[in-house]
Amino acid sequence: MEQKNVRTRFAPSPTGFMHIGNLRTALYTYIIAKKYGGKFILRIEDTDRERYVDGAIDVIYDTLRACGLNWDEGPDIGGPVGPYIQSERMGIFKQYAEELVKMGKAYYCFCTKERMDKLHEEQRAKGLTNAYDRHCRNLSPDEVKRLLDAGTPYVIRQKVPLDGTTTFHDELYGDITVPNADLDDQILLKADGMPTYNFANVVDDHLMGITHVVRGNEYLSSAPKYNLLYEAFGWDVPCYIHVEHIMRDAAHKLSKRDGDAYFGDFVEAGYYIPAILNYIALLGWAPKGENEIFTLEQLTEEFDIHGLSKSPAIFDPVKMKAINAEWLRNLPHEKFKEAALPYIRKTCRSESVNLDALVKVLQPRAELLTDIPERVDFIDELREYSTDLYFNKKMKTTPETSLEALKAALAVFEGISEADWTPENVHDTLTAEAERLGVKAGWLLLPIRAALSGKLSTPGGGVELAVILGREETIARVKKGIEKLS
Ligand code: GLU
């Protein structure tokens, strides 16, 4: 593979939210540029005005930035080969389309919408796929001039050779040869003067010096037509890498209807952004070794185009969650705290809570960030709970033994000063008390946990909860427990 002056581009159409298939393309594109010391270019392909969605460009910017896929050239930061928004490049496409007409590789087509609709209807009735019947391909130059002078609306179509074959090369699929007879005289320039995607991407990839094109393999069948355009202009063809679809199962593509097919949905569902990137990198690419956990930098190191798969990737929510959990568990304390804090604050606004202690107990069992609010919802306020919480078969605790335990705990807690309220002190004094009473630590700790949380499942046990809540609140809740059990 050519690796000099690498320039790759991510060329999204602003048609809505960022599907993870698109984000995966952006990721591979970015990685290839960075791996070879090249440039990653962002180009907005907004020539299909019917599919244009307001605000979608911002979604593209925000998503790429949030993922750390920073572009070297693009609409907002400019660059040597701008503008980077296709709708601002209209004159360029018109000029190149007309040049192709002059070279005899394209032609004006004046067919009306009515004629095309009728043609397509007839084709459908015969069970044929819709294709242009080349009605205008052989109009005489005089006829073309007359129609143009009269201001007749037109499109410009590619003049595909009627026989022979066209071969193009894909880095994964190798050489692909198709009979020209199978290729349509596709539209290059539309009646509104806008180029079609199929034309604009060729012109812009050339003018922007793009060396590698990564895209979904829905474009594979159009690639021969691009090659004919490159050939007509005498331009170098970039290295193509067509990647497979992401599937829900063997038969269905992953779509919005399955829920969670969009980047923003995963963030909302509590996935950590680097973990999302990590997982989608694995959808269609296999690392050489066993390890599957990678930062963006590590992905860039490890990535190899030949590790890309030629079969569709099946999206596996269970695996994605496992990767997210592993990411969260492995984060440095401060990083995890930063990620967890907004979720903690959804249900826990208390100023006196010991955040570091809380984060420490949350991290080892974190799977999704969105699990956090429910896990910490007992901190601000102790809700009514049933005394059933005080039964524990294993520790042989009952509401009666728990009353005794809480009384002992209260004396212990009152004996620890505010300044000495550390995890070690709380732990050691409680353990000593259990020893003195000749009971198992759990006999003492389980009732404390119940009294402090009012919940069956808590992040951390009695000691951790006491430290998280602080001395004053701990004592108040133990007293409440005693009252309840008395
Ligand atoms: N605008 C096209 C899309 O969003 C880009 C395809 C390509 O990368 O060439 O699908």
Condensed to tens digits (0 to 9), the pLDDT of residues 139-184 reads 999 999 999 999 999 999 999 999 999 999 999 999 999 999 999 9
Q: What is the pLDDT of residues 404-419, one digit of tens each?
A: 999 999 999 999 999 9
Residue 215 CA: nearest ligand 1 atom is 8
Q: Which is the catalytic residue, given 118, 145, 256, 335?
A: 256
SS3 405: helix
The answer to whether 256 is a known catalytic residue is: yes
* pLDDT bucket at 103, cuts 50 / 70 / 90: very high
* Amino acid 259: pLDDT: 62
**Residues 242-247: what's their mean pLDDT?**
92
pLDDT at 345 over 90: yes
Residue with the nearest Cα to atom 9 of ligand 1?
215
* pLDDT bucket at 251, cuts 50 / 70 / 90: confident
The set of residues, in sequence order, having a beta carbon less than 8 Å from that of 316 and lying 6+ positions away, is none
Ligand 1 pocket test: which of 13, 24, 199 has the largest number of ligand atoms within 8 Å of its C-beta? 13
**Residues 10-26: what's their mean pLDDT?**
94
d(Cα 410, Cα 126) in Å, to the nearest integer?
88
Residue with the nearest Cα to atom 4 of ligand 1?
12
12 lines ligand 1 (CB under 6 A): yes
238 lines ligand 1 (CB under 6 A): no
- Compute, in degrees rounded to 10, the torsion defined by CA atoms 97, 100, 102, 106: -90
Q: What is the pLDDT of residues 305-332, one digit of tens each?
A: 989 999 899 999 999 999 999 999 999 9
* pLDDT bucket at 12, cuts 50 / 70 / 90: very high
Residue 22 CA: nearest ligand 1 atom is 4
Residue 183 DSSP label? S
**Residues 224-229: what's their mean pLDDT?**
95
CA 303 to chain centre: 18
* Amino acid 1: pLDDT: 54
14 lines ligand 1 (CB under 6 A): no
d(Cα 421, Cα 465) in Å, to the nearest integer?
12
Cβ neighbour number for residue 396 with a 10 Å cutoff: 12
**Residues 337-366: what's their mean pLDDT?**
97
The set of residues, in sequence order, having a beta carbon less than 8 Å from that of 335 and lying 6+ positions away, is none
**Residues 389-402: what's their mean pLDDT?**
94
pLDDT at 254 over 90: no
- Compute, in degrees rounded to 10, the torsion defined by CA atoms 457, 460, 466, 470: -100
pLDDT at 455 over 70: yes
* Amino acid 16: pLDDT: 87
**Residues 110-117: what's their mean pLDDT?**
96
Strands 239-243 and 174-179: unpaired
Task: Say if residues 366 and 336 touch (Cβ distance below 8 Å).
Answer: yes
Cβ neighbour number for residue 218 with a 10 Å cutoff: 11
Q: In this structure, what token pair is assigned to residue 167? A: 């071969």
What is the distance in A from the centroid of ligand 1 to the CA of 28?
Answer: 14
210 lines ligand 1 (CB under 6 A): no
* Amino acid 11: pLDDT: 97
d(Cα 353, Cα 356) in Å, to the nearest integer?
9
* Amino acid 258: pLDDT: 64
Mean pLDDT score across all residues of the chain = 95
What is the distance in A from the centroid of ligand 1 to the CA of 201?
Answer: 8
Cβ neighbour number for residue 401 with a 10 Å cutoff: 20
pLDDT at 257 over 70: no
350 lines ligand 1 (CB under 6 A): no
For tokens 């179509």, the residue is 157
Residue 9 CA: nearest ligand 1 atom is 8
Cβ neighbour number for residue 36 with a 10 Å cutoff: 19
Between the alpha carbon of residue 174 and those of residues 169, 239, 325, 478, the distances in Å are 5, 11, 38, 72
What is the distance in A from the centroid of ligand 1 to the CA of 13?
Answer: 6
Cβ neighbour number for residue 108 with a 10 Å cutoff: 21
Residue 201 CA: nearest ligand 1 atom is 9
What percent of the chain lies above the pLDDT cut of 90? 91
Cis peptide before 274 (omega within 30 of 0): no
Question: Nearest Cα to 7, choosing from 233, 161, 237, 213?
Answer: 213
* Amino acid 88: pLDDT: 96
Task: Say if residues 417 and 462 touch (Cβ distance below 8 Å).
Answer: no
- First vs last C-alpha separation in the chain: 79
